Every structure is written in structure tokens, then in C-alpha cells.
Amino acid sequence: MEPGRSKAQRKAIQLMTVKNVLVVGGGITGTIASIALSQKGVKVTLIEISPQWFGVGHGITVQGNALKVLDQIGALDRLGAGFSFSGLNVYDASGAVLAETEMPHTGGQEYSSAMGILRSELQTTLVEMCHELNVEVRLDTEMVAFENHSDSVDVTFASGAVERFDIVIAADGIRSKTRALLGIHHDKKPTGLGIWRNVTKRSPEMSHASVYFNGPSYKAGFTPISETHCYAYVLTDPKRVDNGLSNAQEMKRLLEGYHGEFDFIRENISEDDYMNFQAIEWIFVDDQPWHQGRVILIGDAVHACPPLIAQGAAQCSEDALLLADYVTRDGDIETLFTEFTERRKPRIKVVVDASLQLANWELHPDTPGANPAALMASSLAELTKPA
């Protein structure tokens, strides 16, 4: 007798054909998939190439549709950190208010529009849940090949060991090696933009997200992540300028032309803040299947959205929860994979198209009809429909 499961749940588990799953990649997508599958009675092995869970310190905007997923797996109430908000203010770089808006509630009215949180804090909760649910976590482990059979898949690990699973869910991110193993011809592409981000102090009044347009660099903004801190960002050219400045000095330099609340941010940036620069890339596998036989790719591995409407991780978490539901249904697994993918692609296209359009308008602000604030609002409004 398995403790904690009702008679109906035990019966459902007996009927399931997928009982033993390998998840590749321990980011947001892989951990949520592992948790959701374990909660349905599936035995999950999660492999992560990194020798230790990475605790990156960036802030992240977790929008309502992702909060809903976190709630559905029981993670939301466990988050001991984060700052929920619904307001989004739009400013001119001078600090003049262009609009004070409420962000769409993409998870429904019962959730705030968004929560700002450190990625490391979100990851810690998801990893703790994986351990509590007895997910078999293997760090420093990589899948190098697989062989599909009619009712199983044999996986070869970098160690040379071969193991059999019912299916493989690969969530190994934008640099996915599994993508090529599946014969997918897409690869990540540049957007023409880079981004500087830092975690820094905020004033009590900065309790909403803000975006600043028409500055000397591209768009800048911030999101609160606690009562005292926010993460701030500024979009730039895709290469870090080689000017001998420290990261903090460079971030201050880039933010010189942004005022209003950015005066507070700029003055408080310190060398001790967590900050980094990266080029922004994207990929969307829109015209090929996401699976081959019993191996399927989800998350950034097949749709890394430029973060122009901060929906990438939200789409990843929707993938993970929905796929756990599909693969534990009765039926032919390839048909279930196809139905899942057909359901996901149109919704993700909304995010990718809007994000790429916004990136393009950043690069070409004089484009006739360019209206970033309106496009952000309309694309997020579209996502208030259920996933």
C-alpha cells in the first residue's frame, strides 16, 4: 500500500502506460515536469549536465500563467520570497509618465499579474520538491544517444551505461544537444540585442514594474523582487563594449540617460550587486515535430522567446505541466505527443511573434506604426486564455 495515495489514484497509476520517465535538464522546465509527473505516480529520473544545481542570482518576472502552474504543483505557497504586483508603468527616458497600467492577469483574476523573484529562490523550491517526491536526481550526467523501440527507449549516457525508459522528456535549454539528436534543423539565432541586468536596491514607491522608452540605449526597466530590492535591465547592442569599465560602472554609464525612478537605481548600483551581460538569442521550432518516437523536447530547447514580454519561463512551465498530463493519459504516445505539440505551438507563436516584433522596433524605433506598449498589452491579453 502506497502512503498518501487514494484508491482511485492507485488504480489510475496501474492503468498508465508511461510509468518510468527520463527528464533531461534541471532548469524550470525539467524540474516542473519532474514534479508534475511524480505527483501522478510516475517514476522520474532527472539528469542535469551541471555538476551542481546552478543558483544564478538574476531576477525573473513570473507572470500569472506561470504562477498558476506553480500553484497547481503546490510550489506557489512554498515560495518564501518574491514580490507580487500587477502595475506596469511606462515612462519616457526623462521619467515623464506615458501610462500607468495594470498588466493582464494571464493566470486569471485569482492570481496577481506577476511576481518578481530571484531565480535561485524559485529553483531552490523546485529542487526541494523534486527531492521530496523521490525524483532520482543525477547531476553531472548527460544523455549522448537513444534508440527508440515500440514500447520503450534505450538511453546511452556519457558514462557508456545504457538504461531503458518508457519515454524521454528533454528540457536542455536553448543550447540543447538533444535537438540535433532528434534531427531538428533549427538552431538558436541572434536578435541583434544584448541585455545588462542587475539586482539592486529599490525605493518603497517602486512597487510596480516599469519600462522606459526612447532613451540613449534601447528599452530599460525594472521589476520589484522584494520589499527592498528589484532587478533592473537595459537593452543594448549584442556585444559588451570593451571600454575598461567594471560591470557596475558600465551599467551606470548605460543608465545615465534614464531618469525618474532610474535615478535611484543608478545611484545605488554597487560593485557588490549581482549583474551580468548577455546577447539575446531565440529559437522557435514551428515547422517540425518536437518529438521523435518516444523522445520529446520542450521548453527553451524548442522555443526560447526573447524576454521582451517576459513570458519565456511561463511558456516553459505551461509545457511541463501540460505534457505531464498528456503522457499519463491512455493512448498511443506519439499521438499524445503530436496532440500536445499542436496545442502548444499557436500559443507560443503569440509570444515569439510579439517578442521578435518588439525587438525589431527597439532596433528600428522609427518604424511607422511602432507601438511597443500596445503590443505588449495585446499579446499578454491574448495569453489570459487558458493554456
Ligand X SMILES: Cc1cc2nc3c(=O)[nH]c(=O)nc-3n(C[C@H](O)[C@H](O)[C@H](O)COP(=O)(O)OP(=O)(O)OC[C@H]3O[C@@H](n4cnc5c(N)ncnc54)[C@H](O)[C@@H]3O)c2cc1C
- Binding positions for ligand X, rule: CB under 6 A: 24-30, 47-50, 60-61, 142-143, 171-173, 177, 195, 278, 280, 299-300, 304, 307, 310-314, 316
Closest distance of CB 277 from ligand X, Å: 10
Residue 347 neighbours by CB under 8 Å, 6+ apart:
315, 318, 383, 385, 387
Distance (Å, whole) CA 306 – CA 372: 14
Closest to ligand X by CB, 9 vs 156, is 156
Closest to ligand X by CB, 88 vs 316, is 316
Closest to ligand X by CB, 198 vs 328, is 198
Closest to ligand X by CB, 259 vs 345, is 345
∠ Cα 342 347 353 (to 5°): 120
| Cell 505541466, located at residue | 321
Q: Which of 245, 249, 244 is nearest to 266 (CA)?
A: 249
Closest distance of CB 310 from ligand X, Å: 4
Query: What element of type H or E holds 322?
Result: helix 312-327
Closest distance of CB 233 from ligand X, Å: 8
Closest to ligand X by CB, 9 vs 288, is 288
Closest distance of CB 259 from ligand X, Å: 24
For the chain, give the number of residues.
Answer: 387
Chain residue whose CB lies nearest ligand X: 27
Closest distance of CB 343 from ligand X, Å: 18
Widest CA span of the chain, in angstroms? 67
Residue 39 neighbours by CB under 8 Å, 6+ apart:
73, 74, 133, 324
Closest distance of CB 6 from ligand X, Å: 31
Strands 143-148 and 153-157: antiparallel
Closest distance of CB 195 from ligand X, Å: 5
Closest to ligand X by CB, 270 vs 278, is 278
Strands 153-157 and 291-292: unpaired
Half-sphere exposure of 364 (CA within 13 A, CB side): 8
Residue 161 neighbours by CB under 8 Å, 6+ apart:
none
Closest to ligand X by CB, 259 vs 352, is 352
Strands 162-165 and 153-157: antiparallel
Closest distance of CB 269 from ligand X, Å: 18
Rg (the chain; Cα; Å) = 21
CB 111 within 8 A of CB 105: yes
Q: Which of 109, 46, 51, 79 is nearest to 320 (CA)?
A: 46
Closest distance of CB 224 from ligand X, Å: 12
Closest to ligand X by CB, 76 vs 366, is 76
Closest to ligand X by CB, 17 vs 124, is 124
Helix (H) and strand (E) counts for the chain? 10, 20
